[in-house]
Amino acid sequence: MRGCVALFTLTILSGCTGVQSALDPAGREAGTIARLFWWMTIGSMIVWLGVIVLLIYSVRTRAESFTRRKARIMIVGGGVVVPVVVLTVLLLYGLAPIPAMLAPAPPGSLKIAVSGEQWWWRVHYLPPGQAPIPSANEIRLPVGEPVEFHLESPDVIHSFWIPPLGGKMDMIPGRKTRLVLTPSRTGVFRGACAEYCGASHALMAFSVVVQQREEFAAWLSHQSQPAESPQELLAIQGAHLFLANGCSACHTIRGTAAAGVVGPDLTHVGSRLSLAAGILPNDPNAFERWIGQTHDLKPEVLMPAFHMLPPEDTRALAAYLEGLK
């Protein structure tokens, strides 16, 4: 029995930490939300305890022992005054942080456009005074700085959510929504789609890497560069096969003839932490599986499976893509 209780408690508590927990905040906005959550929880516990005490009291006392006056005080006090006061305080406390959360980031802040796609994340960094820098399925942020996300969707409603950094925001077709997040510590976190959007809704995640400012700046400047040409024979073959098999109709690899925009930009795909919106590790084996078994891995994905390719071609493609650091 004691083992069961311990296991149960551990299971519940394990939800409180980790890369995707709103109760383990790593950002200013998430901190506000976690505080609100705890105060609401404490508030509702106090109300619940009060109700239980009254319940026990009422069961144990005889009705005749109440005067009319005493009964009225109980009903008006406990039924009207206390709930109005407690709920008003909790409501005001809950509404108070909203204006600051909806305010735009200060001028000069980094802006990142993110679009929820079927089923991946199209990302463009918009550094002030520079051309947009495309990426996908991974978001990097400098620590301690507010970043303004511009969110949209071309198809259905998705919801952009990085629990350790802040609240969620819907991505609505035909509309631009905005979300400001201010990470407060470095680390790797996980974001996900929080609005059911179709068959592979649960297979649409992304990594979030919060870095020191200089590290982030170096990374972003590298991302803005075109891809380096492959050096090894297998990877060179892969580069040819990428164009010959029509991968380039849907994918861009900057610095090559591949300029498709249907799927993710693959210019630096080898440098990402995961593949295909957080469902596979980033290694050559995962690239091969993705190219050959696309639809088994992600139902209704908009990329055709290339299982008809000879294994050596798939291996060459994987070597090329994995090398795009």
- Where does this chain bind ligand HEC (CB under 6 A)? 119-120, 136-137, 242, 245-247, 249-251, 262-264, 266, 269, 275-277, 287, 290-291, 298, 301-304, 306, 317, 321
Residue 158 binds which entry of ligand HEC, Cu ion, none, CB below 5-8 Å type-dependent: Cu ion
Question: Is residue 190 within the footprint of Cu ion (CB under 5 A)?
Answer: no
Task: Work out how close the CB of 55 gets to ligand HEC at its nearest, in angstroms, rounded to a whole number.
Answer: 53
Task: Work out how close the CB of 268 gets to ligand HEC at its nearest, in angstroms, rounded to a whole number.
Answer: 10
Question: Is residue 193 within the footprint of Cu ion (CB under 5 A)?
Answer: yes
Q: What x-and-dash track marks residues 67-96 binding Cu ion by CB under 5 A?
A: ------------------------------
Rg for the chain (alpha carbons), in Å? 26
Task: Work out how close the CB of 245 gets to ligand HEC at its nearest, in angstroms, rounded to a whole number.
Answer: 5
CB closer to ligand HEC out of 164 and 264: 264
Task: Work out how close the CB of 207 gets to ligand HEC at its nearest, in angstroms, rounded to a whole number.
Answer: 11
Per the CB < 8 A criterion, the answer to whether 122 and 204 are in contact is: no
Question: Is residue 298 within the footprint of Cu ion (CB under 5 A)?
Answer: no
DSSP class of residue 90 equals: H
Structure tokens at 112: 């990142």
CB closer to Cu ion out of 112 and 197: 197
Using alpha carbons, select from 278, 291, 247 the residue that is nearest to residue 265: 247
For the beta carbon of residue 33, count every other beta carbon within 10 angstroms. 19
Give first-to-last CA distance, the chain, whole Å: 52
Residue 197 binds which entry of Cu ion, ligand HEC, none, CB below 5-8 Å type-dependent: Cu ion
Among positions 197, 220, 235, 277, the unique one binding Cu ion when judged by CB under 5 A: 197
Per the CB < 8 A criterion, the answer to whether 138 and 272 are in contact is: yes
Which residues make beta-bridge pairs with 184?
none
Structure tokens at 249: 């109709």
Question: Is residue 279 within the footprint of Cu ion (CB under 5 A)?
Answer: no
Burial 64-82 (b: 16+ CB within 10 A, else e): eeeeeeeeeeeeeeeeeee
**Distance in angstroms (rounded) separating the CA atoms of residues 205 and 20:** 11
Structure tokens at 204: 């649409």
Residue 114 binds which entry of ligand HEC, Cu ion, none, CB below 5-8 Å type-dependent: none
Residue 45 binds which entry of ligand HEC, Cu ion, none, CB below 5-8 Å type-dependent: none
Question: Is residue 192 within the footprint of Cu ion (CB under 5 A)?
Answer: no
Q: Which amino acid is at 22?
A: A
For the beta carbon of residue 57, count every other beta carbon within 10 angstroms. 10
For the beta carbon of residue 169, count every other beta carbon within 10 angstroms. 20
CB closer to ligand HEC out of 149 and 306: 306
Task: Work out how close the CB of 148 gets to ligand HEC at its nearest, in angstroms, rounded to a whole number.
Answer: 23
**Distance in angstroms (rounded) separating the CA atoms of residues 91 and 247:** 53
Among positions 28, 122, 140, 158, the unique one binding Cu ion when judged by CB under 5 A: 158
List of residues contacting Cu ion (CB under 5 A): 158, 193, 197, 204
